[in-house]
Amino acid sequence: MTALSNGSFIFTAGRGRELHLLEKGSDQKSYIVYGGEVLAFACCEEDHVIAIGLRSQSGPDQCVIRIYQFNGSEVGDMLAEASCLKVTQLMWIESRQLMACGPAGCSLFVWKKNLSVSFKDSAVGCFMQIGRVALLYSEFQTIKYWSFDTKKMLAAVKLPQRDHRVLTVASAGYFCFALYEDGTVQAFYVTRSTVKKLEVFKKLFPMLSTNGAVGGTSAQLLLCALSSRKVLVGLRGGGRVHKLEYKNDKVLVDSLQEDLPTPFALMGISLDGRRCLVLDTKEGRHCTLVLSFGGTKELSPGTEARSVQKKLPSAEKTRRTGADRGPGKVKWPGSYRVSSVLVATGVVVVLSALVIRRFSSR
């Protein structure tokens, strides 16, 4: 899944894993933009292109990577093509540089007239953070930050929780998260000079049967950095979005949670963190919900967002907002009642004096 800057979502769906697009403000119906079986894809909006990984007729472990024109709503002509081993992830590092990762490792492709490999590594996954490439080495449970301009490693981070296997690592803004097979999440705060280990959230996500219903085979963290201190975290196929806050440069707090209504499963989060892509697991359709952290809302065609959750009881509203609703009747405090009596008495005295003065003048 990729959230585009125009508010659209592009994702794979269906038994054939075709590439679908759901536009912002549409009638909540996605449409197919590429009909073949897509193993992985990556959009580069700056160059108006999309890279797509497809199965190869040469064998099950082979793959074909193709680059097409892409205007944000339609896939155009093919611009380049290259063969490689099977890929599960594609990522544009910058214009004309494409990283392809799979079970056999990662390869960096440079696109000029053709696609050619300029770098190979044994890593099994990659992500971008603060302008640097991070490679995940699952066997050693290590993340390495690289500069491909200098071909040098900038930093290395050993992941804790050695008794559990790392499934995936993802980043957004200054935040980095490692997801383990038991649903535990380890958080980091990354700057250009330091990598700070933050909290471990034990079994933050339930890992049982979250991907079977949504047509996936591997766990995927969905992130959106709201600021340098706040980030949204969810699991693909899950039913809850967490808002985490980094407070006083010391602690990362799970401050708010948004539960998606049944039967929706989380599939993506928009770039501004206000909407999420979900799958209706009963009807098999994709749509978007508004994230308000006070009850998700479904976007209806041509109307404002409407609530799809039951209204919270008064006590629950009070707890979430921190407001003191109080009883049905307003009870004024004692000091306010005394002040009111004094003011009323003063008004009567002034009016009496004016009346006496008027009759005296006659």
For 238-289, the DSSP string reads -SEEEEEEEETTTEEEEEEEEEPPTTEEEEEE-TTSSEEEEEETTTTEEEEE
Distances (CA, A) of 291 to 82, 93, 186, 298: 40, 29, 24, 9
pLDDT in tens, 130-184: 889 999 998 889 999 988 778 788 899 999 877 889 999 999 999 999 999 999 9
Phi-psi region of 44 (alpha: psi -120 to 50; beta: other; left: phi over 0): beta
Q: pLDDT means per 10 residues in the chain (362 residues)?
A: 96 92 86 95 96 94 97 96 96 94 95 92 94 90 88 88 88 97 95 92 80 64 97 97 94 96 97 97 94 69 38 33 32 40 46 49 47
Where are the chain's structural domains? 123-259
Residue whose tokens read 């909407």: 275
pLDDT for 152: 85
Average pLDDT, the chain: 83
Residue 92 CA, distance from chain mean position: 18
Please give the model's pTM, rounded to 2 decimal places: 0.80
Q: Is the peptide bond before 333 cis (omega within 30 degrees of 0)?
A: no
pLDDT in tens, 57-81: 988 899 999 999 999 999 999 999 9
CB 20 within 8 A of CB 286: yes
Say which CATH class 123-259 falls into: mainly beta
| φ, ψ of residue 343 in degrees (nearest 5) | -65, -45
